[in-house]
Chain A
């Protein structure tokens, strides 16, 4: 089945220790998104790619970076995680029609 896959599902890191989350898709969608979702909060858009064009949200901290080496894969790098970065990180894709976004299962990040 075509899908959005995120690895790992759970990630524990230490304060200040860099971490990378990955997302892959078999939908061949042009657009990929990264969201941060904290408990009982709405998903918050961090950035998105339209093909290889990177679009950063104005309020996304510099601590967060992203890479998209090809259509299928996208990575979220957190250079120096703080306690406030503990959250669920969601990857989503969208086709050219823009009818809906398909979400992966998420990566739950814990910062010790």
Chain B
């Protein structure tokens, strides 16, 4: 069974304080690892897809990396508007997305 575990559950940062979120996964035949951002009361917003170990993608202050067992979402010099819950999901042979519970990020000014 495909599984995703995200850590930490919650993270508080000061503005400008860089950090990383972790997504550990087990999947049968990885078809893709996805990162989403979810603001309170809204649907998830797509950020990145990673397909193979060693792959990296960047968008503004966010950088996602992938190994065979985990993915990291690095946040460089975060701003208060980066506060959100970040969801990780994997798609394996079942072709269905399996989500983690997310990391709630709070960036204080």
Distance in angstroms between the alpha carbons of A108 and B40 in the assembled complex: 11
B91 touches A103 (CB 8 A): no
A106 touches B41 (CB 8 A): yes
A42 touches B41 (CB 8 A): no
**Interface footprint category on A:** 20 to 34
B 84-109 contacts with A by CB, 8 A: 87, 91, 95-97, 99-102, 104
Distance in angstroms between the alpha carbons of A99 and B97 in the assembled complex: 11
**Interface footprint category on B:** 20 to 34
Q: How many A-B residue pairs have CB under 8 A?
A: 49
Q: A98-B91, A100-B34 are in contact. Are A40 and B101 (CB under 8 A)?
A: yes
B49 within 8 A of A: yes
Contacts of B42 in A (CB 8 A): 105-106
A45 within 8 A of B: yes
Distance in angstroms between the alpha carbons of A99 and B102 in the assembled complex: 20
Known: A90-B43, A100-B34, A101-B46; 13 extra A-B contacts, CB below 8 A, are A4-B43, A40-B101, A40-B102, A42-B4, A42-B99, A42-B102, A43-B97, A43-B99, A92-B43, A98-B32, A99-B32, A101-B34, A105-B43
